[in-house]
Every structure is written in C-alpha cells, then in structure tokens.
Structure 1
Amino acid sequence: MIAAAAITVLATPTAALLTLLTHRALRRAQAAKTLRIDSPHGIDEQGFVRIGGIDQWISVRGEDRTNPVLVEIHGGPGAANSVYTARTRSWERHFTIVRWDMRGAGKTFGRGGPEGQGEATFERLYEDALEVTRYARDLLRAERVILLANSYGSVFGLRLARNHPELYSAYVGTDQNIHTGGRDTSAHDALRERLRTAGKAKRLAQVEAIGADPHAWTPQQRATYAKLSAQSDPLTLATLKKVVMCSMWLSPLHSLRDLRDYFRGQSFSERITEGTAGLDDRADGTRFEIPFFLFQGEHDVLTPTASAKAFFDEVEAPVKRFALIEDCSHFASFARPDRFLELLQTHVRPVVAGKRGADA
C-alpha cells in the first residue's frame, strides 16, 4: 500500500512532482536541524556495524550518555523504525536510543541487496538481536539495557526478555504480538465481521480463502492478511497515511533510493514469518525475571489489545504495568510519541534510572 503510493508520487506530471520534491526537501532540512545533538555528553553515531557476518545499520542517539539505554527491535518484518527518528526526537532527551535496521530491512537491505543478507531466518535475526544488544552495552558501558520491541519485533522481544535477563533491565512491548499456536481466531473473526459490515465481499472472500489457521499460511498470505486488516480499519488506515507514510517521505535520514530499498526489504523479509507461525507464547512461559511493561494502542486491530492484555494478566514479573495509548490503533508509539514518552518516564525510568550496572 505504501509502496504503491510512492510509485504514484513519482509518476506525477513533472511540474507537480518538482513541487512535491521541493516541499520534501524543505521539510527534510527543517527536520535535520531538529535532529542535531550538540549537548556536551550527547551521542549521535550512525553507520554500519558488522553483525552476524554482514554490515547492518545502527543508530545511537541521545543527549546524555548517562541516560538509560534503550535498544529497539522493530516490526514488519522488514519495517525499520529509522524513518521515525524525527517523530521520537523528544525520547532522546531522556534515553539513549539504539535503533537498528535488521537483516533484510531498510539501510541494511540497501547495503547488501537480497544477495547480501545471508541467512534471513527468525533464528538468525534473534542471534543478531543479541549481538546488537552486546554491541550497545559495550559502546555505552551499560551492563544492562531496556529492551523496547514493537509489533513483529515483539515476537523477538518476548524471547529475548525471557531468556536473557542478564542483558536487559526491563522489557517494554508495544503493538504487542501474541502467538497462540493457532488457538485464538478472534482477530480473524473480527476482520471478517468488519469486511462483511462494510460490504467488502471480494476482500472477505480473500480472508476466508486464507483461513483462520496461521500454521497453514504462506509468507505471502500473511502479508496479504496484514494488508487487508489494515485496510479494513479506518483508524489504522489513517495512521498509515498520516504517520507511517509521512514519516518515510519526510525523513531527513532517507533518500528516495533508501525508500525504494525500504519497500524492497519489506517484500524480502516476508520469508522470516515462516519461523514463527507455530509459536505459542504461553507455552514458552509467562514468567519474566525483569520488569515487564506493555503500552498498547487502545484500538489496535493488527495486534489486538485484548490479546495483549490477556497475556499480560498471566505474566509474573518483579514489576509489571499495562497502559493504553488512547485513540490509537497500531503504530501507537509513533502516532503519539509524547504519550509514549510519558509512559516511559512514569513507569519504566523510575525502575531503571541510576541502575546501569549489575544491580539494574
């Protein structure tokens, strides 16, 4: 959907296209100014780091190196969060943000192309995430870091937080994805009902043909299902246009070629979901040895809020907190970045502040 919009823009008649590109250049220049970090103890390091045998793009930004370190695991798969850097600028005053374009995504995909991604599997990306975590700890001299995972990244996030409490001071999930081994069909049922109510017979037929059992879906069917889910919900569709597409188009860190690579990376990364169709988060365990936080969009239909809350209720952790991000669907942390920062400041930072060492 986003790729098609970009192609439409580039196919616009020359005069209108020049106007669009001029407007884009001005807005990107303005955004670039707001991204400058001039504080004496700040950090702004962006570039490629050798992770898992290939060059992967990592950004480390913050106004004070002594702030808590937050390592981000983005969603998709293949939907790098680097395009949201301008929207989350306020976070960098209170946290050092480590933002990574995963294997098969964004600038990492652009660097090596499809041939240079190596083994693009869930297991390989999980090992990459551990390596990125250790890189961040060494660079910033932090014994443990906050793990922030959104959407498909939260599939990695739960397992990283459960298996490696020695690396993380807290887990923060948003757009939290809960796998149930195929038992819970409520999201599929809700999508069918939305399409039926809207009279979208063709799309309803597509959903019914895909079926309710994710074990049987091909990667392409999973991508189609996600697209149909987003299109069926006005709030999600509006967020895609106003937040996701605008962030991409106006990102001062991304050229038009980078945006092309972004879309290509998303298509390439569809294969990664083959490694997660049969996962069961409850069976893997609901006990965590670190503080556990879920901040979820109130009306999320892609990773349903009710499913996330039901899982949260079963979690055992030293500290746990669930909070809604009001009037939001998916992409809640980027739709309302100031509200998300408020939740980080109110609930997460008091738990980890001043505890960058082994006692975090």
Structure 2
Amino acid sequence: MIQTVIFLILTVLSVFALAGILILTAYFAIARIRKKKNPRQLLRLKKSAIFFAVVMILNMGLITLSQLTASTPSIVDENGKTPKNSIAELRELELNGRKQWISLRGWDKNAPVLLFLAGGPGGTQMAAVRHELAELEKHFVVVNWDQPGSGKSYYAEKKKNITAKTYIQDGHALTEYLKERFSKEKIYLLGESWGSALGIFLVDEYPESYHALIGTGQMVDFAETERMDYAKALEIARSKGDTALIKRLKASGEPPYYGKDVTWKSAVYLNYLSAYMAENPEIYNPGYNTLRDIGSSEYGLLDKINFFRGIINTYNHVYQQLYTIDMRKDYTKLDVPVYFFLGRHDVNAPTVLAEEYMELLDVPDKGIVWFEHSGHSPWINERAKFAEEVLSCFLSTKIQE
C-alpha cells in the first residue's frame, strides 16, 4: 500500500510541478528572446505560456468543483427507493474552532446514534464504513468523522498543534452536537485501532454521554505494541529467509521511533504484517479496498490527496506522542460498558494485550467477541457477523435507550 500511496502523491505533485516549470521556463525564454528580438519564437512561447496557464486554471477549477460536489449517496432500499425518514448527509462542522467533516447515514433519523472512530491517527474511513457496514445504517444513524489532520479535515488544525487532547476535545464537541441534533441523552461509540483508544479516552472523561463502547483492533499499550509487532515481523522474516526485510528492520532498530521518519520506519514491519495477514487463508476478505474507498464520492480531488497525507504526516506527528499510554495502568475504571471485538489472527494489535486489559477493566458490563476468520479488521474481514454482534451488544435490553 505504501508504494501506491507514494505513486499517487508523486503523480499529482508532478503534474503541478511540471506545469509550473513549463510556465517559468516559458517566462524566462520570452525574456531572453525579447533581448534577441525574435518575434516568431516569442509568439510561439507566449502561446505555450498561455496554454499552460489555462491548463493550471482548469485544474484548479476542477479541484474546486470536485470539492464542492463531494457527497454521500442517498439511502436506498431493495426496490431502489429512499426511505421517507432516512438521512444521508456530508456536513462541515466547527468543533472548538476547527472546521471538520462528518457523514451521517441511516434509514431512520430517529434511530440511536452510533459514532465510528477511525484508525490512524490521520486515517479516514468515511467511505470504507459506508461500503463495509451498510447493514448498521438500518438500525443506527451511523456517523463518520474525519478527525483533524485526516481526509476532509486535513486542514482543521496545524499539524504541529495536534495532540491526543485535540481529538478528545473535538470528539466531545461532536458528541454534544449529535446529542442535541438528534435529541439523545447518550450515543454509542465504535472505535477501530487508534479509534479504539480514542473511544476509551472519551468514555473515561465523559461517561455521561455514552451508552457503550466497542473497540475493535483494540489498542492498549502503544510502545509495547510496536515492539511486539517489530519482533513478530522479524520472526516471520527469519522463518521465510527474507534477508532483505531482516536487513531493513535491523537498520531501523527496535521501536519506538521518534522524529520525522516514524511513519516510514513503522511501515516496514506494519506493511509486512499486513501482507502476512492477507496471505492467511483463515482470514476472510483480508485486504483493504483502498482504490475503491479513495474513489468514493465523499472525497473531492484534494481530499483524495489528503487521504494519504494524513496517513503519512499526521500519523508521524501524533503517534510518537502515544508511547507513554498503557490502558492497563491508566484506564481500568470506567463507568460505561466496554466490549472488544478481536480478530483471532490479528498480528497488528496483539490480542494478548487486549485480553490482559479486559481482565483488569472495572466497568458496568464487558466482554470479548472473537472473530475466528479475522485479522486486524473484523469489521471488514467478517462484516456480516460484525454487524450482528454490534446489534447484540448495543441494542441489548441492558443498555437500550
């Protein structure tokens, strides 16, 4: 995936850079020709400069148009009709002075509200959740939030100012907006990977706002997770005789990493582990459908670029701030039911840490749901079962509105 990311970013940047170079080249050439007084050559260069200027203007117009026309598709039933009380919106909000985007989708706008917290930090899964968890839209108003520094909200805050507290503050502000808009006392939380940690932070600080939390690909101890992932990748590489990967891992050294190349060093073992899970025949539907997601209507052309910039830049800045967090020490007493949905074959977020954490949790209700044919993303690997289990947990008589 990293290779795809780099290729797409470089392609877009190259187009603009080439156009800029051509315009500047034409400008300086015109200046030289004026000195030599060659009118024909001067005319040709002027036409070329005008042409490339027009192309640049059209490109900017196309980008602007794509941003303005981005949308989320209407809800439709099996007959192709839109349910009367359904909701399908793509909306920009100001949360604590930061402009951010959400999508809201559901067959009935009076249904309970479920806020999905994407992985990352810096990831956007607005389109992915619509594609993979459409079944939940029949039972909830499903809200997807592009967090600061990701996707459509990439420019919500300067990267250097983003911290874990930023996400907690804005997640709370978004929750308050949703409670008021839909006349709810509480909403449900579903967090994926980094989002599972953010969910813990939110229910810890604002338990009165949430019915329950499901964490999937549950993060517990960020520094230990990185060390375990690194060791696992090294173990697999040695078993396969992959000397090139072993060399790259040893060159980086054992994590945690700090500085400007956290993303790239981490990607060496994280991509290797993702590929390892994708090759596991026990894992259903193993891969991310990145091209489908980035091509979805929710993202304009600039959003598509920022889809990757968040994964690279925001992740690099924020992730190294999380190494001091260990849920087993800092977040054991919560006043909200907590459930972990874990893939049996997850080698990205070691499930042994989640099991240890679950044992320590003092909460009104708790439990682990295992997905026997999943890796790090049960909501993708076994989406039908995942939706069923969400309904079982969230719409049980214990915590129903």
- Other structure's SS at 2:332 match: coil
Hey, what does 2:5 align to over in structure 1?
Answer: 3
Q: RMSD of the alignment, in Å?
A: 2.9
Q: What is the alpha-carbon distance in structure 2 between the residues aligned to residue 330 and residue 247 of structure 1?
A: 19
- Displacement of 1:243 in angstroms is 2.9
Are 2:75 and 2:87, in contact at CA under 8 Å, matched by a contact in 1?
no
Are the structure 2 counterparts of residues 88 and 233 from structure 1 closer, same or farther at C-alpha, using a change threshold of 3 Å? closer
1:22-37 map, 5 Å: 32=73
Are 1:226 and 1:302, in contact at CA under 8 Å, matched by a contact in 2?
no
Q: What is the alpha-carbon distance in structure 2 between the residues aligned to residue 43 and residue 60 of structure 1?
A: 7
Instruction: Give CA deviations for 1:169-214 in whole Å, capped at 9, x if unaligned.
Output: 1011001111166499433322210121122223223333444442
Hey, what does 2:269 align to over in structure 1?
Answer: 228
Q: What is the alpha-carbon distance in structure 2 between the residues aligned to residue 4 and residue 237 of structure 1?
A: 21
Q: What is the alpha-carbon distance in structure 2 between the residues aligned to residue 351 and residue 211 of structure 1?
A: 50
Are the structure 2 counterparts of residues 133 and 278 from structure 1 closer, same or farther at C-alpha, using a change threshold of 3 Å? same
Query: TM-score, normalised to structure 1's length?
Result: 0.82
Using CA pairs under 8 Å that are at least 6 residues apart, name the structure with larger relative contact order, 1 or 2: 1
- Displacement of 1:6 in angstroms is 4.4
- Other structure's SS at 2:137 match: helix
Is 2:134 the partner of 1:120?
no
Are the structure 2 counterparts of residues 332 and 35 from structure 1 closer, same or farther at C-alpha, using a change threshold of 3 Å? farther
2:366 is aligned with what amino acid? K
Provide structure 2 residue ranges, at least 5 long, that are not aligned to the other structure.
Answer: 15-71
Hey, what does 1:66 align to over in structure 2?
Answer: 110
Q: What is the alpha-carbon distance in structure 2 between the residues aligned to residue 237 and residue 9 of structure 1?
A: 27
Are the structure 2 counterparts of residues 233 and 86 from structure 1 closer, same or farther at C-alpha, using a change threshold of 3 Å? closer
Q: What is the alpha-carbon distance in structure 1 between the residues aligned to residue 125 and residue 274 of structure 2?
A: 22
- Displacement of 1:232 in angstroms is 3.5
Instruction: Give CA deviations for 1:34-75 in whole Å, capped at 9, x if unaligned.
Output: 668822222222121011212100111111123221112111
**Which among 299, 309, 324 is matched to residue 355 of structure 2?**
309
Count of aligned positions: 332
Larger mean CA deviation between 340-349 and 199-208 belongs to 199-208
- Displacement of 1:310 in angstroms is 2.0
1:201-212 map, 5 Å: 201-212=243-254
**Which among 311, 327, 333 is matched to residue 266 of structure 1?**
311
- Displacement of 1:79 in angstroms is 1.1
Q: What is the alpha-carbon distance in structure 1 between the residues aligned to residue 224 and residue 275 of structure 2?
A: 26
Are 2:160 and 2:317, in contact at CA under 8 Å, matched by a contact in 1?
no
Hey, what does 1:141 align to over in structure 2?
Answer: 183
Are 2:286 and 2:375, in contact at CA under 8 Å, matched by a contact in 1?
no
Instruction: Give CA deviations for 1:208-257 in whole Å, capped at 9, x if unaligned.
Output: 3444442x534633553245223245454468984332442442323444
Provide structure 1 residue ranges, at least 5 long, that are not aligned to the other structure.
Answer: 12-30, 356-360
Is 2:135 the partner of 1:90?
yes
1:157-196 map, 5 Å: 157-179=199-221, 182=224, 185-196=227-238
Are 2:340 and 2:369, in contact at CA under 8 Å, matched by a contact in 1?
yes
Q: What is the alpha-carbon distance in structure 2 between the residues aligned to residue 316 and residue 331 of structure 1?
A: 26
Are the structure 2 counterparts of residues 166 and 277 from structure 1 closer, same or farther at C-alpha, using a change threshold of 3 Å? same
Hey, what does 1:17 align to over in structure 2?
Answer: none
1:295 is aligned with what amino acid? F
Are the structure 2 counterparts of residues 143 and 227 from structure 1 closer, same or farther at C-alpha, using a change threshold of 3 Å? farther
Identity %: 24
Are 1:82 and 1:100, in contact at CA under 8 Å, matched by a contact in 2?
yes
- Displacement of 1:145 in angstroms is 0.8
- Displacement of 1:9 in angstroms is 9.5
Query: TM-score, normalised to structure 2's length?
Result: 0.74
Hey, what does 1:151 align to over in structure 2?
Answer: 193
Q: What is the alpha-carbon distance in structure 2 between the residues aligned to residue 234 and residue 329 of structure 1?
A: 11
Is 2:123 the partner of 1:79?
yes
Hey, what does 1:291 align to over in structure 2?
Answer: 337
- Displacement of 1:151 in angstroms is 0.6
- Displacement of 1:154 in angstroms is 1.7
Is 2:171 the partner of 1:129?
yes
- Displacement of 1:350 in angstroms is 0.7
Instruction: Give CA deviations for 1:120-162 in whole Å, capped at 9, x if unaligned.
Output: 2222122111111111111111111111111112221111122
Are 1:50 and 1:56, in contact at CA under 8 Å, matched by a contact in 2?
yes
- Displacement of 1:8 in angstroms is 9.7
1:333 is aligned with what amino acid? W
